[in-house]
Amino acid sequence: MFKIVKDFYDKGIYSDKDVAKFVISGKINLDEYKEITGNEYKS
């Protein structure tokens, strides 16, 4: 799931908020969120 989310984020399809939804649902973890967005996750 990480690769798909990262690809979509890099293409501008997903925003930080969209990626956060994957953290909430347990599909990616906090470290992966930071790797994708470059930001710390804030709940």
Instruction: Please give the pLDDT value at position 43.
Output: 78
Instruction: Please give the pLDDT value at position 2.
Output: 97
27, 19 contact by CB (below 8 A)? no
Instruction: Please give the pLDDT value at position 3.
Output: 98
Q: Pick from 20, 22, 3: which is nearest to 11 by CA?
A: 3
Give the DSSP letter of residue 38: S
Distant-in-sequence, close-in-space partners of 6: CB < 8 Å, separation ≥ 6: 35, 36
The tens-digit pLDDT sequence of the chain (43 residues) is 999 999 999 999 999 999 999 999 999 999 999 999 999 998 7
Distant-in-sequence, close-in-space partners of 39: CB < 8 Å, separation ≥ 6: 16, 33
- The CA distance from 26 to 12, in Å, is 22
Instruction: Supply the pTM of this predicted model.
Output: 0.91
